[in-house]
Amino acid sequence: MALGPRCLLLLLTLHGISGKVLHAGCGQSQVSATWGRIVGGHPAQAGAWPWQSSLRRRNVHVCGGALISSQWVLTAAHCFSESLNASDYQIHLGELRITLSPRFYTVRQILLYSGRPGPPGTRGDIALVQLNTSALLSRWVLPICLPEDSATFWPGMRCWVTGWGYTQEGEPLPPPYSLQEVEVSIVDMEACRQDYNNTGGTIQSDMLCAQGPGDACQDNSGGPLVCQVDGIWLQAGVVSWGEGCGRPNRPGVYTLVPAYVNWIHLHILAARESGLAPLPLVASFFLPGLFLLLISCVLVAKCSLYRAPSSPLTSDL
């Protein structure tokens, strides 16, 4: 195909600006940031959060997750407290509502950072799920970017959390089970430690706290906390635990993604080298041609590891 020579050219340039080229395929919402995003729990628009995944155990939604490459979903370790058997789980991608759609991915393997799920409030509440086959990327199914391990998310920074969790304490999401989005602010770690002092919960160094200006419940375990930096969405956290939802002085607690980004990269690379990952096939008729070309080239080169922009988060925002 005519793609050949152009791919070669692009691959050559990958070495110089690998971060930028690789992240062109991730963190791209199909909805502009200023449109349809309302403070407080609110149904999300199609394509706004194309990395949002639904983790099902025997076809029942149990947790959220985020697609981080064509074959991997990042979620929380405590989502697997009932079973660690990969055949019990399914992943649904590109869906706005919880449905029994027959289009889902089976799971090849589940990797927990700590080996086994711990009780709420323990360190290492993070897990990787490998799909049995590569996801078909489209306008509705795209990976989120991962931050660098040095990234910091400062207090007051506005981020978004999405999921199909309870809309309020004790109130499950009502039909039609539409994906909810809520804007939250990163909370200072010391303040969060104090908030949770004498509550039985301990804020560890691999955690991140965020509280909404609205009072939406954050019972969306495994789902992504994402922040927009220079027009690209980065995953800052994984919904982990909290006391109740939306209570004053009880911020939501997330697993801090930068603390595990090296572990994530290690496992994705290891899986690829052991030949587990088949050559992904990308089909998208909606995206601009250049974007499609870049993705194809990157995937053909078996470089489906999406990296964050190289500019550290601590700078200009």
Ligand X SMILES: *[C@@H]1O[C@H](CO)[C@@H](O)[C@H](O)[C@H]1NC(C)=O
How many angstroms separate the CA atoms of 215 and 250, rounded?
Answer: 11
Please report whether residue 87 would count as binding ligand X according to CB under 6 A. Answer: yes
- CB-closest chain residue to ligand X: 106
Please report whether residue 132 would count as binding ligand X according to CB under 6 A. Answer: yes
Please report whether residue 249 would count as binding ligand X according to CB under 6 A. Answer: no
CB of 196 vs ligand X, minimal distance in Å: 9
Please report whether residue 199 would count as binding ligand X according to CB under 6 A. Answer: no
Footprint (CB under 6 A) of ligand X, residues 23-52: none
Please report whether residue 106 would count as binding ligand X according to CB under 6 A. Answer: yes
The candidate with the shortest Cα–Cα distance to 41, out of 171, 196, 188, 209, is 171
User: Do 291 and 6 meet the contact criterion of CB atoms below 8 Å apart?
Assistant: no
Of 78, 206, 296, 304, which one is the catalytic site residue? Answer: 78
Which of 85/262 has CB closer to ligand X? 85
Name the H helices within the chain: 3-16, 18-23, 189-195, 261-273, 289-300
In the list 32, 34, 198, 315, the residue contacting ligand X (rule: CB under 6 A) is 198
Please report whether residue 197 would count as binding ligand X according to CB under 6 A. Answer: yes
Q: Half-sphere exposure of 38 toward its Cβ, with a 13 Å CA cutoff?
A: 9
DSSP β-ladder status, 207-211 and 252-256: antiparallel
Q: Which residue has the tokens 């449109």?
A: 35
How many angstroms separate the CA atoms of 243 and 223, rounded?
Answer: 17
CB of 88 vs ligand X, minimal distance in Å: 6
Q: Cα dihedral angle (163, 164, 165, 170), rounded to 10 degrees?
A: 150
Rg of the chain (C-alpha set) = 19
User: Do 305 and 22 meet the contact criterion of CB atoms below 8 Å apart?
Assistant: yes
Two tokens, residue 153: 């998310």
CB of 262 vs ligand X, minimal distance in Å: 28
CB of 136 vs ligand X, minimal distance in Å: 14
**Interacting stretch for ligand X, rule CB under 6 A, among 110-118, 173-181, 193-201, 301-309?**
193-201
Which of 101/194 has CB closer to ligand X? 194
Please report whether residue 205 would count as binding ligand X according to CB under 6 A. Answer: no
Catalytic site residue 215?
no
Q: Half-sphere exposure of 159 toward its Cβ, with a 13 Å CA cutoff?
A: 29
Catalytic site residue 78?
yes
Catalytic site residue 221?
yes
- The catalytic site residues sit at 78, 125, 221
List residues near ligand X by CB under 6 A.
85, 87, 106, 132, 193-194, 197-198
